[in-house]
Amino acid sequence: MDYVLYEQKDAIGIITINREKALNALNSQVLDELNEAFDAVDLNTVRCLILTGAGEKSFVAGADIGEMSTLTKAEGESFGKKGNDVFRKIETFPIPVIAAINGFALGGGCEISMSCDIRICSENAMFGQPEVGLGITPGFGGTQRLARLVGAGMAKQLIYTARNIKADEAYRIGLVNDVIKATVDEAGNITVSAKDNLMAAAEKMAGTIAKNAPIAVRNCKKAINDGLEADMDKAIVIEEKLFGDCFETEDQKAGMGNFLKKKDDPTKVKVVDFKNC
Ligand code: CAA
């Protein structure tokens, strides 16, 4: 693949959008390669994914404006569908996906981060949906996911004004869960970049998730996602089924057995080797 890199570290997969010269803008090829990269993830061994962008400046600076500039109405709609199909694949991917946002997350960049389960960003990150300034609407799910994440009023303000916001404001409105700073020594010199600290934080979080029972984690993702699309009466039934689905698994037996064993012998260290079955 030209524009997407994949690396696996133990049970963590890292997908990097690697089109740094164009600030990782999403053209059709990047979208196709992202689709392929997600399809190729080995779900038997990977328990959590991290999605990030190459370089220190940009996560994803949006859909490719050059490519979009000559599209007809029908082509515009089908380009929107191409992006939406990939982003929906990310959103419904069986295991959690953490967006590690290392700089600009504009337009399609903000949108792809919102299709991930969790967003954390570096202190230099900038978010926005600048589309109305380009004569278009957000087209990869921004009108839908931003409103669901930060509320309709704030989403409408950001989308109608096309105003970019910095990391601290994104944190304040609940668009990101954490903002990661560079490490600075007493003289004010950067000793570890914000990007390196961001990736370390993302890997630490992914590692914590990967240690938990994989079937349970997957079922939690599905319960939250599917439940949010249903009314409460249906939503709790969705949970009941996914809760029930965990029973009789090796992971449930190991997890509960470990707790009960600890009660007999408090010196037992809580390390459960979950098998994903
Ligand atoms: N599409 C295509 N190329 C892009 C791009 C994009 N979205 N964003 C940046 N680039 C390219 C630039 O054209 C430039 O390429 P060249 O060196 O070949 O000229 C390179 O990346 C570096 O960009 P800049 O020189 O502009 O860098 P900067 O630091 O001065 O500015 C920036 C950075 C503020 C992010 C600016 O590049 C910018 O505003 N980019 C566009 C952001 C945007 O509007 N995104 C939304 C796109 S629409 C969308 O995403 C629709 C949708 O919902 C599906």
Domains of the chain with bracketed CATH: 4-210 (3.90.226.10), 212-268 (1.10.12.10)
Residue linked to tokens 């978010």: 127
pLDDT for the residue 98: 99
- The predicted-structure confidence for 214-226, as pLDDT tens digits, reads as follows 999 999 999 999 9
pLDDT for the residue 240: 98
- The predicted-structure confidence for 34-51, as pLDDT tens digits, reads as follows 999 999 999 999 999 999
C-alpha 23 chain-centroid distance: 18
What is the pTM assigned to this prediction?
0.96
| Residue 272: band (very low, low, confident or very high) from pLDDT cuts 50, 70, 90 | confident
| Residue 174: band (very low, low, confident or very high) from pLDDT cuts 50, 70, 90 | very high
pLDDT for the residue 262: 79
pLDDT for the residue 71: 98
pLDDT for the residue 270: 67
pLDDT for the residue 195: 97
Residue 10 has pLDDT above 90, yes or no: yes
Closest ligand 1 atom to the C-alpha of 23? 21
pLDDT for the residue 276: 79
Closest ligand 1 atom to the C-alpha of 130? 44
Residue 268 has pLDDT above 80, yes or no: no
| Residue 261: band (very low, low, confident or very high) from pLDDT cuts 50, 70, 90 | confident
Q: How remote is the CA of residue 61 from the centroid of ligand 1, in Å?
A: 5
Which amino acids are annotated catalytic? Answer: 111, 131
Q: How remote is the CA of residue 58 from the centroid of ligand 1, in Å?
A: 10
Q: How remote is the CA of residue 228 from the centroid of ligand 1, in Å?
A: 33
- The predicted-structure confidence for 202-250, as pLDDT tens digits, reads as follows 999 999 999 999 999 999 999 999 999 999 999 999 999 999 999 999 9
Pocket test for ligand 1, best of 20, 21, 65, 113 (most atoms within 8 A of CB): 65
pLDDT for the residue 189: 97
| Residue 266: band (very low, low, confident or very high) from pLDDT cuts 50, 70, 90 | low
Pocket test for ligand 1, best of 3, 19, 20, 23 (most atoms within 8 A of CB): 23
- The predicted-structure confidence for 64-99, as pLDDT tens digits, reads as follows 999 999 999 999 999 999 999 999 999 999 999 999
- The predicted-structure confidence for 101-131, as pLDDT tens digits, reads as follows 999 999 999 999 999 999 999 999 999 999 9
C-alpha 156 chain-centroid distance: 22
| Residue 273: band (very low, low, confident or very high) from pLDDT cuts 50, 70, 90 | confident
Q: What percent of the chain has pLDDT over 90?
A: 94
Residue linked to tokens 């690697």: 18
pLDDT for the residue 264: 74
Residue 269 has pLDDT above 70, yes or no: no
* Residues 143 and 137: beta-carbon distance below 8 Å: yes
